[in-house]
Amino acid sequence: MLKPMKIVYSFLALIAVVFITSCSSDDYEVQEVVINSIEPETIYPGDQVNLQGENFNEVLFVFLDNDQIPFQLDGNVITISIPESGGSIGEKVLTLVMPEGYTVTRNVTIVARPTPMISGLSSNAAAPGEDVTIKGTSLDNLQAAYIGEIEASVVSSSATELVLTVPSGLQENIAAQIRVVTTGGEATSSGEFYIADNLLLNGNLEAADGDEFSNWGKWNGGEGMTATTAEGEAYYGTSLRAVAVGGDAWRTQFVSDPVPTQIGVEYTLSIWIKAGPGPGNGGNIRFSTNPDALYSGNYDITTEWQQIQWTFTANAEQTRAVLDLGAVENATYYVDNITLVATGLGGPQPTDILLNGGFEEGDGDDFTNWSKLNGADLLTATTNTDEVRSGSRALVAEAAGGNPWNTQIASDPVPTQDGVEYTASLWIKAGNGVGNGGIIRMSTNGNGEAQYQGNVTVTNEWQKVEWQLTANSSETGIVLDLGTTEGAVYFIDDVSLIEPPQE
């Protein structure tokens, strides 16, 4: 009932103006009121709007539709504030009310304020006290910005760029999200941003002289590696453009200067990367180190920006980060924000407690710490490069059809704490064929009642499937229910069950 009553009161006010002013019509002649312009052209809720015109000294009231709104008069400029409420959005009639029942109206359109978007960061690692620049759209009308759960101080702000100082009080060497809140909504940064020093010098590649990048070497395929700042090719500022020689991954090789590392400590190497249209459907790349080389698995690259990461344990006191980009001939990659963080020094960390989640251990088509519950002959091993996400071995599953459990493999149960939340995940892609990828799910076994994930649609590209579950027993196993879509073929790797950090 409040809104109708408000409209009634507004109409009564308008009638009162007409009545009162009409009583003095013999003594007063109203001058013609003209609205010449309204600024800004695009009006959002909460905006201050300026009306420029003539004889505004005659104006007694201003209405937006049937709601009276306050105004300020400065010569021939009237300033009004558009209400923040959602009811302000849409086509509206702005009415100026003068004596003698004289009114002037203009139609205005009030649009919803655009939601902010974050498209890139100047760096994906920064220590407390350092600045990070956010690139995006509709970042103005800022209300607050957070890194992790702590509000960050704002150095500068515009519609397309926001500079924040990383606050103190965040746990270092772990990832934290950046969140921006404006009057139009919220935006959260994609990928991982680490509260840490990036150990790689010039990891954001901004220090470049022509096509040469400070602190980086082109060990192979150097002519195919250049700098780019072109729109659509640069993630932020200056990026690396690399054209693969083809044949072997190391034939196009971009290598950092050596940096100090601690033997036995875990490090995470990450990049932002996308492929240009062309050979190899985006192609694939890998990470490695130098000296005493360690190698990641292959990563399929798409034509959209993605952050890929590799975690390894250092085996040398000085380590170079190596990007092996040469496998797919003439594939083109755009690379930026190369980041190396000592994640092993980040204090309590989430722990993967699942055994042999990468399916590396086993004999033939059997997998250590896994049991084939149904459709055993449909569950096999593969070592084909394009069917393995990381390491050298993965699971291949063919769906029997009918019920999810008709093709089913289960991990050995591992100790869990009743009532504690865990994260189960797997990496999966479908082969070309039946069911447009098909559907799968995860479930649990152990000494508690089974829990079931909702159905997940599988694509022909590697995707990470995550499931948050609360343990209901002291032992929990992860079950892969793969049987629903008859004839669908899945490649599965890197299954995990993450336990929250133990203080």
User: Residue 362 in contact with residue 356, Cβ under 8 Å?
Assistant: yes
User: Residue 248 in contact with residue 326, Cβ under 8 Å?
Assistant: yes
What is d(CA 124, CA 308) in angstroms, rounded to the nearest whole number?
12
Mean pLDDT, contiguous 10-residue spans, the chain (503 residues)? 38 45 53 94 88 95 93 94 77 94 94 89 94 93 91 91 92 92 91 95 96 97 96 94 95 97 94 87 90 94 94 95 96 97 80 92 96 97 90 93 96 95 94 80 95 95 93 96 95 92 65
Amino acid code (one letter) for 9: Y
Instruction: List CB contacts of 241: < 8 A, sequence separation 6 or more.
Output: 225, 226, 227, 228, 233, 332, 333, 334
Q: What is the pLDDT of residue 503?
A: 56
User: Residue 197 in contact with residue 129, Cβ under 8 Å?
Assistant: no
- Name the percent of the chain in helix, strand, coil, to the closest 5: 10, 45, 45
List 144's β-bridge partners, or say none: 181
Q: What is the pLDDT of residue 210?
A: 96
Instruction: Out of 3.40.630.30, 3.40.50.1110, 3.30.390.30, 2.60.120.260, select the CATH number for domain 208-345.
Output: 2.60.120.260
Q: What is the CA radius of gyration of the chain?
A: 31
| Fold observed for domain 117-195 | Immunoglobulin-like (2.60.40)
Instruction: List CB contacts of 255: < 8 A, sequence separation 6 or more.
Output: 216, 217, 218, 219, 290, 320, 321, 322, 323
Domain span(s) for CATH 2.60.40.10 in the chain = 2-110, 117-195
User: Residue 250 in contact with residue 244, Cβ under 8 Å?
Assistant: no
| Fold observed for domain 351-499 | Jelly Rolls (2.60.120)
Helix or strand run (H / E) with residue 96: strand 90-97
Domain span(s) for CATH 2.60.120.260 in the chain = 208-345, 351-499
Q: Hey, what CATH class is 2-110 in? A: mainly beta
For 76, the token pair is: 């021939």
pTM attached to this predicted model: 0.56
